[in-house]
């Protein structure tokens, strides 16, 4: 059976850990040449090493998604080294636990806006330019259930993720006619280093687990499965959609 991404070139941001790392490794296993991008160089190097050890092809881009010149260089690396850009997965994000709005710091707001929303905008901007030259592509942005439902421990994080969802619909409306599909995946709680760090204690982590309809958190590969579908040609007629992958959490919420 041929790999689902055979002949494709993909950029995965946030590839040093969590969903980004799992996705970069899985995409390479499915035949893609992958640019693993992250500010965390040691983590991204480990991702690239894992791909290489399995016989895949990968390049490292140490970069900050909130910096336009670094995003442009990341896209240029993909095109220069692998010849084109077919897939862009925007997984890079930061989550800072914040108090309610009246006590919310401007610094934390600005940091999350810069990475989580501006960063996705910049990656889409430069990624789309490369895809237009190559005849099309697929972009999948990672949002969050907190971008749909007004809950969570970080106001700015939820607002940025709501922005990512709407940015996706805007990009889809503008570029689907030109052969670029743009979609979003909105995960619920996922067992990643970032989520465990934001939980801040074992008790809070366990509370999230036990209150979930499935009595567990998602594993990163369960989100990667959705990203793989939307990135691949299997989703050739899917654009402008927000796929919620949360184990029924939002559907089961009591209002």
Catalytic residue among 126, 157, 237, 255: 157
Q: What is the pLDDT of residues 219-237, one digit of tens each?
A: 999 999 999 999 999 999 9
Model confidence at 248, pLDDT cuts 50, 70, 90, reads: confident
The answer to whether residue 255 is catalytic is no
The terminus-to-terminus CA distance of the chain in angstroms comes to 46
This prediction has a pTM of 0.93
Q: What is the pLDDT of residues 172-197, one digit of tens each?
A: 999 999 999 999 999 988 887 766 65
Q: What is the pLDDT of residues 104-144, one digit of tens each?
A: 999 999 999 999 999 999 999 999 999 999 999 999 999 99
**Domains of the chain as residue ranges with CATH:** 9-245 (3.40.50.720)
pLDDT at res. 217 = 82
């Amino acid at each position: 059976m041929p790999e689902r991404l055979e002949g494709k070139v993909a950029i995965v941001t946030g590839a040093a850990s969590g969903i980004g790392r799992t996705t970069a490794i899985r995409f390479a296993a499915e035949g893609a040449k992958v640019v693993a991008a992250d500010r965390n160089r040691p983590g991204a190097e480990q991702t690239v090493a894992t791909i290489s050890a399995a016989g895949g092809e990968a390049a490292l881009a140490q970069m900050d998604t909130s910096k336009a010149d670094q995003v442009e260089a990341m896209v240029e690396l993909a095109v220069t080294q692998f010849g084109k850009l077919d897939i862009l997965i925007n997984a890079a994000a930061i989550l800072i636990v914040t108090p309610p709005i009246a006590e919310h710091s401007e610094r934390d707001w600005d940091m999350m806006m810069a990475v989580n929303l501006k960063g996705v905008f910049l990656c889409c901007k430069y990624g789309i330019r490369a895809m237009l030259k190559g005849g099309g592509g697929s972009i999948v942005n990672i949002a969050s259930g907190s971008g749909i439902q007004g809950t969570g421990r970080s106001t700015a994080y939820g607002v940025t993720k709501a922005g990512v969802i709407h940015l996706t619909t805007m990009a889809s409306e503008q570029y689907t006619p030109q052969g670029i599909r743009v979609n979003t995946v909105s995960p619920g709680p996922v067992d990643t280093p970032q989520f465990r760090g934001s939980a801040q204690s074992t008790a809070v982590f366990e509370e999230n687990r036990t209150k979930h309809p499935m009595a567990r958190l998602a594993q990163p590969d369960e989100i990667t499965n959705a990203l793989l579908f939307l990135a691949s040609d299997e989703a050739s007629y899917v654009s402008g959609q927000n796929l919620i992958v949360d184990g029924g959490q939002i559907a089961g919420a009591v209002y």
